[in-house]
Structure 1
Amino acid sequence: MAVYDYDVVVIGSGPAGEGAAMNAVKHGKRVAVVEEQDTVGGNCTHKGTIPSKALRHSVKQIIEFNTNPMFRDIGEPRWFSFPKVLKRAEKVMSNQVMLRTNFYARNRVDVYFGNAKFQDPKTIVVSGTSNGEEVLRAENIVVATGSRPYCPADIDFSHPRIYNSDTILKLNHTPRTLIIYGAGVIGSEYCSIFSGLGVKVDLIDTQSRLLSFLDGEISDALSYHLRNTAVKIRHNEEYESVVGDDHGVVLNLKSGKRIRADAFLWCNGRTGNTDNLNIEASGLTPNGRGQLAVDQTYKTEVDHIYAVGDVIGWPSLASAALDQGRSAAADLVKSPTFRYINEVPTGIYTIPEISSIGKTEEELTRECVPYEVGQAFFKDTARAQISGQPVGMLKLLFHRETLQILGIHCFGDQASEIVHIGQAIMRQEGSANTIEYFVNTTFNYPTMAEAYRVAAIAGLNRISNL
């Protein structure tokens, strides 16, 4: 059995693992990465962020084709199957794998494809590699194993019509009707994708409103537009049983409702991937969701072991995971560039998409902060009219007295891009992070960015009328 010594061993090659590995090797450390799949990229590339967003993009193009009168000169509205749309996502995934493989090769990071298990707090045994079993010893270990869908034992996920958010990528037909259980970010995104393909969707929400962490007005807008695509949203519901047969799936709810559909998609909860690591040998104990606790430097209770990404829970975003990995590596090499990742914009890739950062109206109201609102509706902006994407708005929340920007909420096409303009201004210090910046800055015309100027002027006008 071969034994290799490293400065850092990273378990997992998703965004968190990649961020940790690349930052550590740039600081002169000898680094190894262990990945259980056959190629690098982690669940982000193969099962989560990349495939779902590539799917969404294709569906968005289909919707535009089928609803834009200009395309009627080309032909009648077309129907596209889920497997056909998925093929484009697979091409994007392949490109991402190639790109990331080159990252590791170029930076001389050793990658082991196999299953990692702790032998002791500083030793990892990798089984299933091309060389059999190999042992990696390291001064520091970074656990970046990600998460997977939580699958309750009383639902038969081996049934060919019952899926979770990972296995849905193996769907080889297009159902006419679909039940999605769980209306969080993943459930809402897949709801948009399938309804965009013309599938009749029942979206089961265990909460009283969609994505309750969002600003209420944004949440309401999403609900409206999902219903506008014939989605049936059912709030405050819990399942009693899920029964699959040869013709479809029956969902029995505790409220007494019974719903039948061609297929069922479970999107309710995630579990940290720690159960196959022999984690006890490291001295760590995961919580009931398989997640590891960390401090403000991403260290676990074992001083030389770090944990980053979905395996530590919130915010469970690829963007945050990459930065967490980089920060963990910065701490272990004692770099002054370390920062704790706590200002993360929300990016939800529904159709239309949603992005926000900072406080919501509900939070500011509870905290008794004197705030005002400035809004710009995309239907009134020239760029949105030109692009044929008039749905949505930009909403700025700011302090009524200091004019400091307190929250930015965007719903509509390119929302996840638009929010970063405001995020950059929010991060400035002193008087530079006020709403006046947008009034005193000349934006290109026509652009979506000019919505900031429109919203800022509208907000200041509300103050002047008091």
Structure 2
Amino acid sequence: MAKYDYDFVVIGGGPAGRRAAIQASKLGKSVAVVDDQKLIGGVSVHTGTLPSKTIRESVMSVTGWRDQHFKSRQHRNGIKLMQDSINSRLSTTLGDEVEVIDSQLARNNVAILKGKAKFCGTHKLAIQQNFQGKKTIFSVTAEKFLIAVGTKPFRPKSIPFNGTTVIDSDSVAANLPMPKSITVVGGGVIGLEYATIFSTLEIPVTVVEARERILEFIDRDIIANFVQQLSDRGINLRLGRTIDRISLNKQGHPTIILDDGRQVQSEMLLFTAGRVGAVDSLGLEKVGIACDSRGRLEVDRQSLQTSQPHIYAAGDIIGFPALASTSMEQGRQAACHAFGAPIQNSGNSFPLGIYAIPEIASIGLSEEEARAKGFQVEIGIARFQETSRGHILGNCKGMLKCIFDLHARTLLGVHIVGEGATELIHIGQAVINLNGGIDYLSDNVFNFPTLAEAYKVAALDAYNRMPKPRLRA
């Protein structure tokens, strides 16, 4: 039997990579993580999930957003103070997260190999390190590999990026700008998260999106509520529009000419229309693995194996849903499959969370999906204004929607828009995955006053329109 330096080598220290590494170590395997960042954590920690969510929380704090219903919000007369507060919180949060990750990997005896990884054989990686201007290369071998390198912003040549007035999401994460106005190109998750953050700072925002509908994978009623909230705040949505060209004036401020001839002018342009896999230097051709036009890898969704059975891939690099939470689970499942361990909960529904302002969360089937699959459904709606907690918080614009199977009475899907949605969704997750339904939610006692009561309100909303259960003899 061939001898290798490690049983399992993970390329990338983000959510998928580190969860896979720890899982493989717990299975008694020798494991290493190869990461080319100065600090461990991957895109999730340094330019993606944590920075954007930390910025969001900081902005809501310094602007008094959560108290807007009861008092006037702070004005933008202390921009420098606001930036300092946001950057300080960001630095502290990311530093703490890196310490936690380092500790977790160390406790599980996972080796961290710093440098850029490149396949140079079927079971062999070359790792290039740059230290004080000096390059060194060494190699490691492994029985099995996981590619979890994540993605980077898509930067088409037609966009005049300059790092100051025309930027991508990595630039925002590094140092939140405070322009007088901004155009966000891309109405996906990242674009809408940042668009609502800037709007909360009372910066005029225009969103340009080529599709006719934003967030097409989210239930239509939730998106309608979300779009109405954006409209109420003055966010201008230009849907179904593409960019013809972009010009910069003497100050570098962009003017976007759309395909219908209309112009959008602003002080800054944030381009968030897509991401690409960070695979260009991995040497995939050496192991016979191909990627698509956006650098994503195709895998068997059950095993997470690539076209090479001993090489797995997980996380953003394999495409939708490209969330930190699902990436972690994919990494765990890949490690389990690689070493013959049973995979638990692989059939369960996973929640989606979008940290816009307000938040959006979803699990299970949307109403459209349920009907398309042949279910006869009943819908229960609860608006946050129907809960006492909503009034206490001044948070009355949100809503919760439950999809029930009309005959089996089970819960098929939950969809929420409003503050706290990404926390509330886990109640629905538990009920769906435990095959519960309307009778549990309508009979259950929730703490009062809480936003969680919305589940009971939604269940009771649907209850009177559903056939009554047969009484037991």
Report TM bin, short chain: over 0.9
Q: Aligned to 1:139, which of 117, 135, 143? A: 143
Change (3 A) 1:214 1:225: same
**Equivalent residues in 2 for 1:272-351 (5 A)?**
272-295=277-300, 296-337=302-343, 340=346, 343-351=349-357
Q: Which residue of 2 aligns with 1:128?
A: 129
Secondary structure in 2 aligned to 1:198? coil
The TM-score with structure 2 as length reference comes to 0.92
Secondary structure in 1 aligned to 2:5? strand
Q: Aligned to 2:408, which of 384, 389, 402? A: 402
Change (3 A) 1:440 1:150: same
1:361 deviates by: 1.8
Secondary structure in 2 aligned to 1:463? coil
Q: Aligned to 1:414, which of 408, 412, 420? A: 420
Q: Aligned to 2:255, which of 227, 250, 262? A: 250
Q: Does 1:453 align with 2:459?
A: no
Q: What's the CA shift string for 1:8-37, capped at 9, x where partnerless?
A: 110000000011100001111111111111
Secondary structure in 2 aligned to 1:179? strand
Q: Aligned to 2:271, which of 262, 266, 269? A: 266
Secondary structure in 2 aligned to 1:157? coil
1:342 deviates by: 6.8
Displaced runs of 4 or more, over 6 A: none
Secondary structure in 1 aligned to 2:465? helix
Q: Do the aligned residues in 2 keep the contact of 1:145 with 1:311 (CA within 8 Å)?
A: yes
Secondary structure in 1 aligned to 2:456? helix
Q: Which residue of 2 aligns with 1:87?
A: 88
**Equivalent residues in 2 for 1:203-222 (5 A)?**
203-222=207-226
Letter aligned with residue 280 of structure 2: D
Letter aligned with residue 158 of structure 2: D
Distance 2:76 2:275 in 1: 36
Letter aligned with residue 234 of structure 2: A
Q: Aligned to 2:157, which of 153, 158, 163? A: 153
Change (3 A) 1:424 1:112: same
Q: Does 1:177 align with 2:178?
A: no
1:255 deviates by: 1.2
Letter aligned with residue 193 of structure 2: E
Change (3 A) 1:365 1:332: closer
What CA RMSD, in Å, does the superposition of the two structures yield over aligned residues? 2.1
Secondary structure in 1 aligned to 2:434? coil
Q: What's the CA shift string for 1:351-408, capped at 9, x where partnerless?
A: 1101011121222333442111111111121112122222211111101122111110
Letter aligned with residue 440 of structure 2: Y
Change (3 A) 1:59 1:18: same
**Equivalent residues in 2 for 1:41-60 (5 A)?**
41-60=41-60
Secondary structure in 1 aligned to 2:216? coil
1:91 deviates by: 1.6
Distance 2:128 2:236 in 1: 47
Worse-matched range after superposition: 345-354 or 245-254: 245-254
Unaligned runs of 5+ in 2: 469-473
1:76 deviates by: 6.0
Q: What's the CA shift string for 1:126-151, capped at 9, x where partnerless?
A: 10155822211000011000011111
Unaligned runs of 5+ in 1: none
**Equivalent residues in 2 for 1:340-419 (5 A)?**
340=346, 343-419=349-425
Change (3 A) 1:268 1:370: same
Distance 1:173 1:309 in 2: 29
The percent identity for this pair of structures is 36
Change (3 A) 1:209 1:328: same
Secondary structure in 2 aligned to 1:402? coil
Q: What's the CA shift string for 1:34-68, capped at 9, x where partnerless?
A: 11110100000000000000111112223435954
1:79 deviates by: 4.3
Distance 2:410 2:455 in 1: 14
Q: Do the aligned residues in 2 keep the contact of 1:204 with 1:237 (CA within 8 Å)?
A: yes
Secondary structure in 1 aligned to 2:402? strand
Change (3 A) 1:201 1:68: closer
Change (3 A) 1:277 1:450: same
1:336 deviates by: 1.2
Distance 2:319 2:348 in 1: 13
Q: Which residue of 2 aligns with 1:199?
A: 203
Q: Do the aligned residues in 1 keep the contact of 2:406 with 2:467 (CA within 8 Å)?
A: no
Change (3 A) 1:44 1:68: same
Letter aligned with residue 12 of structure 1: G
Distance 2:452 2:55 in 1: 26
Change (3 A) 1:198 1:66: farther
Change (3 A) 1:76 1:218: closer
Q: Do the aligned residues in 1 keep the contact of 2:67 with 2:394 (CA within 8 Å)?
A: no
1:119 deviates by: 0.6
Secondary structure in 1 aligned to 2:459? helix
Q: Which residue of 2 aligns with 1:36?
A: 36
Q: What's the CA shift string for 1:97-117, capped at 9, x where partnerless?
A: 111111122222111111111
Q: Do the aligned residues in 2 keep the contact of 1:378 with 1:384 (CA within 8 Å)?
A: yes
Change (3 A) 1:422 1:268: same
Distance 2:74 2:121 in 1: 64
Q: Which residue of 2 aligns with 1:107?
A: 108
Change (3 A) 1:268 1:69: closer
Q: Do the aligned residues in 1 keep the contact of 2:257 with 2:264 (CA within 8 Å)?
A: yes
Q: Do the aligned residues in 2 keep the contact of 1:149 with 1:165 (CA within 8 Å)?
A: yes
Q: Do the aligned residues in 2 keep the contact of 1:113 with 1:129 (CA within 8 Å)?
A: no
The TM-score with structure 1 as length reference comes to 0.93
